[in-house]
Structure 1
């Protein structure tokens, strides 16, 4: 698609903010040894934060899934592989001293090579996307309802191997595939929301109430055995939202809620600051995703070391803001000067299919 759709960019913008918020808040709280009110915002967003990101990622796949294999591999595999290897290497430049202090040079080499099997840190999202694109391509002739049923079962099953690729594939693929298989229905829903604003707002308020109750109501002791260790990770509080089947339901419901919010925001004037900021962030969400780790870490360290601000949630907010803003500023400087384009745009040598239009940007 050559024309961007506002609500899609806005939804991606909301998602990337929530992703940076999670990493910033949990990192600050761990370093400070305290929990602030931001933790509860992160917990509220956990059921839909990644489901929505993956669902949006699959929305436009039907338009390109039948392309020749070389072009498909170039756009959907090599594209993400390039950015994964590049930013993995950049992250290791900063992580290597700490790893070397514990395991020596061999520890650094081992950790770097292991990152090609088990995705490293915050980069797991772009590592797993090519596998989703390939799996969907291989299953494109299988009835959608059958694939969705199988993937829903995978999400519900207590698959917790400790390997990110296996666990995240089983728990996230259903949302990506739903974005691909149900794209026409999702676009129609977004259009309906834009035409029926009051009903949509009422529905969103009801969703927020249900989400709140499910996230913050602890599972009784007799049901604790149904929870995995992940119920308390990524901001989770061990509430009903972490239960099998409930997590699937809330994942889809939350994704549709974010799409509805985005559709409503897209009705605002294009000059509206909220519309403009979220649309821009969404259109450049991969830029923020790739580069937020460094400004986030530096801001967190500086604020905690100086002690200028003592409130842990204020520190988390500022850390999140820098994690979102500074990658965008870096991108703008690169676009203006022309230096460093390889950070967010594939050079010609990294493109294996040179036919047609070459999409070089991240």
Structure 2
């Protein structure tokens, strides 16, 4: 049962990180005027699986940290998340400046704006690194409330998420929505999934281990059907967003259980941190070079193949980058004085 648990968990993380790479390729494609209605539709459908499942699985093995002392938590999980979040902020600044320079030329106004965003990143996370910022806060919140009844914690968090997604978010003006940023939205949207999977980890893993293949397929198909209907008919976010987030986690687990024997996915699921950290900058470099050498028409002839190839290249390059010894400090926190004799462990997975 233990191996089966690890199989589907790593596969779930792999599915999430692949979808994250694809959506950021789509985002940067738009900057380079490479729009595709079909790609937009795919990312919209998968949105309710992508981050909900990522946060849920991140919570699956978080329970061990909830019983540790604040010192152990701070020097362990929190230190890693804070370190990689901060050390990669200049990289976010660099690739955004690169994209702007290639597309529109130098602009001091844009440089100042991005530097201000970098400075404010501890309070309002900048770029795709918001996931790490939000995850760190989740661990703090979970540790603060560790003494409360498990069911009460999950119900309270779910109620807040339901109110946020069904009432608050839809009523926010667009400029307020953008000003808040993905990190703060993520807290209100996904904490109930993280804490639910953290507090009921054993029950969830036991339940998944008993799933038959046809049940897993049914769970995935139910989510997919609902997500396709919501995207096709452009159902506005609200109550549907909360429901689809739940279905996305269940359907994603069903898919992960079906694909759990694929060794490549299990491998990628154990390497989510370097992929998550490096992929956006690598996408920017590829697209900047393609634009500089006037190769954009080659992408537009078959945009779907381009997305597939670019996804594979970006993941491979992200993993390759993490293997370079001079860059080891970008992926693991420095050792504390008490740990000088023993190197700090290198974590390869976000969760």
Give the TM-score normalised by structure 1.
Answer: 0.81
Alignment of 1:243-322 (within 5 A): 243-244=238-239, 246-266=240-260, 268=261, 275-304=262-291, 305-306=294-295, 307-310=297-300, 311-322=302-313
Report the alpha carbon displacement of residue 13 of structure 1 after superposing the two structures with TM. Answer: 0.5
Match of 1:323 among 290, 301, 314: 314
SS in 1 for 2:148: coil
Give the Cα separation in 2 of the matches to 1:210 and 1:26: 24
Aligned equivalents of 1:106, 1:265: Cα separation in 2: 46
What SS is found at the alignment partner of 1:116? coil
Q: Map of 1:174-189 to 2, 5 A cutoff?
A: 174-189=192-207
Distance 1:134 1:355, change over 3 A: farther
Query: In proportion to residue count, which structure has more helix?
Result: 2
The question of 1:150 aligning with 2:168 is answered no
Greater displacement, 153-162 / 89-98: 89-98
1:201 is aligned to 2:222: no
Partner of 1:359: 345
Question: CA offset at residue 301 of structure 1?
Answer: 3.1
Contact 1:28 1:315 in 2 (8 A): no
Secondary structure of the residue that 1:142 maps to in structure 2? coil
How many Å separate the matches in 1 of 2:241 and 2:194? Answer: 15
Q: Is the 8 A contact 2:219 2:254 kept in 1?
A: no
Q: Tell me the alpha carbon deviations over residues 193-250 of structure 1, each in whole angstroms, 9 at most, x when there is no partner.
A: 2xx222332343333223322332233xxxxxxxxxxxxxxxxxx4xxx222x22222
**Which whole-Å deviations, capped at 9, do the CAs of 1:292-349 have from their partners, x for residues lacking one?**
01221122234453122323333333332222221012224x2xxx332112222325
Aligned to 1:54: 55
Counterpart residue number, 1:234:
none
Q: 1:170 aligns with which of 185, 188, 191?
A: 188
CA distance in 2, matches of 1:125, 1:73: 18
**1:348 equivalent in alignment to 2:339:** no
Where in structure 2 are there 5+ consecutive unaligned residues? none
Give the RMSD, CA atoms, in angstroms.
2.7
| Aligned counterparts of 2:194 and 2:147: Cα–Cα separation in 1 | 17
Distance 1:6 1:354 in 2: 34
TM-score by length of 2: 0.83
- 8 Å Cα contact 2:55/2:194 also seen in 1: yes
CA contact (8 A) 1:287 1:331 kept: yes
Aligned positions, number: 325
**Offset, 1:277:** 1.4
Which runs of structure 2 are paired with 1:35-184 in the superposition (5 Å)? 35-96=36-97, 101-103=107-109, 107=113, 109-157=115-163, 158-159=168-169, 160=172, 161-162=176-177, 163-164=180-181, 165-184=183-202
**In 2 relative to 1, CA 355–139 (structure 1 residues): closer, same or farther, beyond 3 Å?**
farther
Counterparts in 2 of 1:102 and 1:282: CA distance versus 1, 3 Å? same
* Structure 1 gap ranges (5+): 220-237, 269-274
